[in-house]
Structure 1
Amino acid sequence: MHVTIIGAGLGGLCLAQGLRRAGVAFDVYERDTAPEARFQGYRLRIDADGLDALAQCLPAAHVERVRERAAVARTGGRFVTPQLANADVILPPSWHDAHTDESVTEHRRRTCPATGHPEPHAPDIPGDVSVHRQTLREILLDGIRDRVHFGKSFARTTTTDDGRRVAHFEDGSHGAPGLIVAADGTHSRVREYVLPGMTPRDTGDVCIYGLTPLSTALLVLMDAHGEAATMEGSTVVFADGFAVIVQAMLFRRAPAANRPPPEGTDPARMPLSPVADYLYWAFIGPSHRLLGTRHAGTEMSGAAALARIETLTQGWHPHLGSLFAHAVPETIRTMPVRSTTSPLPWQIDNVTGLGDAVHTMSPAGGLGANTALRDAARLAYHLQSVARGHLPLPQAIAAYERDMCERAREAVRLADAGAALLAARRHTSPPSSRSASDAMHL
């Protein structure tokens, strides 16, 4: 069996690592010309389910590397008003239920719906981590770089006489016959080819996100009252009709290179790009509210976006104003929020998908990347069962898609609930501080 993965994002690379571990042949094809060719985003929060998926697919040394390069959380975070007063809000159940220990335990005790055999799982992994997205992608590339082909834009598929699929690319090349997995994101070319018209809907919301170097931020945030501590965890600022998520990404500076590498570590493992400490922030809300009626629907960035943020935050607490004023204009991006209303199994012979290619969702629930990683781990498990002769490929893919879509529909629902909260302030008793960190995983 050979698996052709279209897309070298987090889900596609996690699947590739899982297949490598299972001894299943694969190749990954990515339309970007190089790993660093395109902006990949900033902070990404991996919850217990995401960590469990990584542990199922990656070598132990890789998982340890994720932990070593994760940001250090000094506080649990809080909900505040634009004046940095505590904001009383009604929390949707998703922000409590999505990451409970019971949820993770239930995932781990599940059996394969096709075979009835218990699924493998990693040792208990408490809590979650915040990582730089590019760092995680580099770790996922480590050890499989020779099987990842860049500069390959998907064009179409053909079918061999025995029913296997072949992916063809715009440069005239093609992959090996076998199973094709769409892991190419919200704008999936594979999905559009096999299921035209299934493009995720535009919700009307947008995110404006960027970063502020922490060396600058410390100078402008610290004061005699210690308000800088507000920015040492996850902070959600509730404004009028939109919200802002802020998190300090403080990375360990211990000389890890001087410690013995974990057992089983490849001495030739890929070096990771250095990342300086920064404050990550993201505005989320209706396009017309964040960008203005005249610019709604556009992809505002750079100085124009920074000017718009200055207008939105007029009259806010000086610490917040300074935070955005010292942002790096080149890091500011606008992203429309799209969602797949009801993810359904594709049921296409020898083609399946994972992550945003199948179930795009709002980032407000903090579940998109973690759901994609979970997809990858489950699909790798099912394909290993096929490779070992435990069940035929069509049966394995059908079981995977049923389970994947069931989980995705729930994740989309939770994401919608999170988006509804972020869009409208509602007052009640103070929430627990740890819930703020569940607000967003952009």
Structure 2
Amino acid sequence: MRVVVVGGGIGGLALGAGLRRRGFEVSVFERDTDVAVTGGYHITLHERAQSALRELVDPPIMERLLASASALRLRDRDAFWDRHGRLLGRGPDLSGDSGVDVDRVTLRTLLAEAVGDDLRLGRAVTGVGRGEDGSPLVRFADAEPVSADLVVGADGTHSLVARHLAGGPTHAPAGYIGFSGRTRLGDLSPHERERLGPRSGLAIAPRGAALYVGFLDPVGNAVIDAPELRSAITTGPTYIWGAMLPESAATEALRALRADALRDALLARFRERGWAERTLEVVARTDPGSVAPYRFNAASTRARDLAPWPAGRITALGDAVHATPPTAGMGAGAAIIDAASLLERLRDVRDGDTGLGAAVSGFEADMRQRGAELLTLAMRTVRLFHATGTPFGAAATAAVTPLLAAATRLNRRR
């Protein structure tokens, strides 16, 4: 069986690695010419995603990943702040959490290595369809079409494959634009180092703005203490932050800016909303070259709306099907689980236990349910952000957060 994967993001590379490992004939076509050129947050892989990844890559790759990852169990409990930096509450104890955080660049690079020569970089797919014999066909602008027994779209939120299957978009803007960046702990003031600490956190405020700060240290908090295996691009304690603003003409204008200009304009927007300087220090002292914008997109939270096409020899996975805002922190993990699920179904086809159509149908049914659960979780947080932007929500947030901060201070003194 020949499988063509369109897209070399996390899900596409994970599937390509798994297919190659299990002896399938596979080609992964990716328009990027360098897998290390990618943005986004760091990636959290919970136990289920890690288990799926172990099915997809050889043990040495998994060992290198864990040597390059930051262990959640070594972090302090997450924190929730208001726009003035006052503590509102803590998240659960992470000491028993088996999850890990890893740089997106690190994970993508390791997965690309696992795919090996089956990864074709610099190959932009322009269309999918059927050949004269009915086989799936992948088309390129500068090369002959390629046929396959199965085509899998892993080409992200703006998936060409999923749009072909659905006859239109499979997601819609979620009403937010995010801006991410990286700031080394050592570049912050002593006060901010202490306030932020070795933890991740979220600050919310009236008028819909929010700031996520994720802590990543794949050296001091390494899952496996094996420096000789480390591939992490992060070489010390670092905050990977994400600033979020409601979508508007003014926010959209920020997307055209880059580096210092984008950072400074973003800071100005938060200051206009009354954010304290100390809460913005992690943005102010960031590496300007790391700051990048992105739009929140979301598919439907209803399982029946996901992958709304008859099962066949062209399918899709990951954000191509269940585009998810980053507020759940599990989008990449879900794509990896999708890849492992499809691989398992395809192994049944190869072993003669089921037909290809039935395998794809079963895979898509599982993916719809999994995607709907993830989207429901992610959109719950997005709706909270939206609520703080309404007149009532803004007033309620301004009134309640000082009370929560006072209650938290009292509890800490007891």
Does the alignment reach a TM-score above 0.5? yes
Contact 1:42 1:134 (8 Å CA) reproduced: no
Which residue is equivalent to 2:213? 246
Provide the rounded CA distance (Å) in 2 between the counterparts of 1:139 and 1:206: 29
Give the 3 Å change call, closer, same or farther, for CA 305–81 of structure 1 in structure 2.
Answer: same
Counterparts in 2 of 1:120-135, with a 5 A limit?
127-135=98-106
Shift of 1:40: 2.9
Q: CA RMSD in A?
A: 2.9
Moved more, 26-35 or 245-254: 245-254
Contact 1:365 1:419 (8 Å CA) reproduced: no
Provide the rounded CA distance (Å) in 1 between the counterparts of 2:197 and 2:89: 18
Contact 1:31 1:150 (8 Å CA) reproduced: yes
Which secondary structure does the structure 2 equivalent of 1:275 belong to?
A: coil
Which secondary structure does the structure 1 equivalent of 2:114 belong to?
A: coil
Corresponding residue to 2:260 among 303, 309, 326: 303
- Structure with the bigger RCO (C-alpha within 8 Å, sep 6+) is 1
Give the 3 Å change call, closer, same or farther, for CA 389–232 of structure 1 in structure 2.
Answer: same
Answering whether residue 43 of structure 2 is matched by residue 76 of structure 1, we say no
Shift of 1:161: 5.1
Give the 3 Å change call, closer, same or farther, for CA 381–234 of structure 1 in structure 2.
Answer: same
Contact 1:181 1:353 (8 Å CA) reproduced: yes
What residue identity is the alignment partner of 2:65? V
Contact 2:179 2:244 (8 Å CA) reproduced: yes
Answering whether residue 252 of structure 2 is matched by residue 282 of structure 1, we say no
Provide the rounded CA distance (Å) in 2 between the counterparts of 1:81 and 1:160: 57
Give the 3 Å change call, closer, same or farther, for CA 250–309 of structure 1 in structure 2.
Answer: same
Which residue is equivalent to 2:284? 325
Counterparts in 2 of 1:23-422, with a 5 A limit?
23-36=23-36, 38-72=37-71, 73-87=74-88, 127-160=98-131, 162-217=133-188, 220=189, 222-223=190-191, 228-240=194-206, 241-252=208-219, 256-257=226-227, 272=231, 274-277=233-236, 278-288=238-248, 292=250, 295=252, 298-314=255-271, 316-341=275-300, 342-347=305-310, 349-422=312-385
Which residue is equivalent to 2:392? none
Provide the rounded CA distance (Å) in 2 between the counterparts of 1:179 and 1:167: 10
Provide the rounded CA distance (Å) in 2 between the counterparts of 1:20 and 1:150: 17
Provide the rounded CA distance (Å) in 2 between the counterparts of 1:407 and 1:212: 33
Which residue is equivalent to 1:122? none
Contact 2:78 2:199 (8 Å CA) reproduced: yes
Give the 3 Å change call, closer, same or farther, for CA 310–257 of structure 1 in structure 2.
Answer: closer
Which secondary structure does the structure 1 equivalent of 2:218 belong to?
A: coil
Give the 3 Å change call, closer, same or farther, for CA 316–284 of structure 1 in structure 2.
Answer: closer
Which secondary structure does the structure 2 equivalent of 1:232 belong to?
A: coil
5+ residue gaps, structure 2, are 389-396, 409-414
Contact 1:160 1:177 (8 Å CA) reproduced: no
Shift of 1:347: 1.9
What residue identity is the alignment partner of 1:207? G
Superimposed CA distance per residue, residues 218-243 of structure 1 (whole angstroms, 9 cap, x where no aligned partner): xx1x14xx852523211111122221
What residue identity is the alignment partner of 2:261? A
Provide the rounded CA distance (Å) in 2 between the counterparts of 1:139 and 1:227: 31
Shift of 1:39: 2.9
Provide the rounded CA distance (Å) in 1 between the counterparts of 2:233 and 2:328: 29
Provide the rounded CA distance (Å) in 2 between the counterparts of 1:349 and 1:274: 40
Runs of 4 or more consecutive aligned structure 1 residues displaced over 6 Å after TM superposition: 428-431
Contact 2:57 2:114 (8 Å CA) reproduced: no
Contact 1:166 1:178 (8 Å CA) reproduced: no
What residue identity is the alignment partner of 1:82? R
Which secondary structure does the structure 2 equivalent of 1:292 belong to?
A: helix
What residue identity is the alignment partner of 2:17? Q
Contact 1:79 1:235 (8 Å CA) reproduced: yes
Contact 1:345 1:402 (8 Å CA) reproduced: no
Superimposed CA distance per residue, residues 151-190 of structure 1 (whole angstroms, 9 cap, x where no aligned partner): 1111223434553212121112333421000000011122
Which secondary structure does the structure 1 equivalent of 2:88 belong to?
A: coil
Give the 3 Å change call, closer, same or farther, for CA 227–202 of structure 1 in structure 2.
Answer: same
Contact 2:298 2:324 (8 Å CA) reproduced: yes
Moved more, 387-396 or 356-365: 356-365
5+ residue gaps, structure 1, are 90-94, 101-124, 262-270, 434-442
What residue identity is the alignment partner of 2:265? R
Contact 2:312 2:361 (8 Å CA) reproduced: no
Which secondary structure does the structure 1 equivalent of 2:87 belong to?
A: coil
Shift of 1:192: 2.7
Which residue is equivalent to 1:110? none
Give the 3 Å change call, closer, same or farther, for CA 149–358 of structure 1 in structure 2.
Answer: same
Provide the rounded CA distance (Å) in 2 between the counterparts of 1:411 and 1:228: 33
Provide the rounded CA distance (Å) in 1 between the counterparts of 2:329 and 2:114: 28
Provide the rounded CA distance (Å) in 2 between the counterparts of 1:335 and 1:231: 27
Provide the rounded CA distance (Å) in 2 between the counterparts of 1:184 and 1:344: 14
Shift of 1:323: 2.0
Shift of 1:325: 1.5
Give the 3 Å change call, closer, same or farther, for CA 62–11 of structure 1 in structure 2.
Answer: same
Provide the rounded CA distance (Å) in 1 between the counterparts of 2:350 and 2:97: 32
Provide the rounded CA distance (Å) in 1 between the counterparts of 2:210 and 2:97: 29
TM-score when scaled to structure 2? 0.83
TM-score when scaled to structure 1? 0.78
Contact 2:254 2:266 (8 Å CA) reproduced: no
Which residue is equivalent to 1:20? 20
Which is richer in helix? 2
Contact 2:102 2:218 (8 Å CA) reproduced: no
What residue identity is the alignment partner of 1:249? L
Which residue is equivalent to 1:3? 3
Shift of 1:300: 4.0
Shift of 1:298: 4.2
Shift of 1:34: 2.4
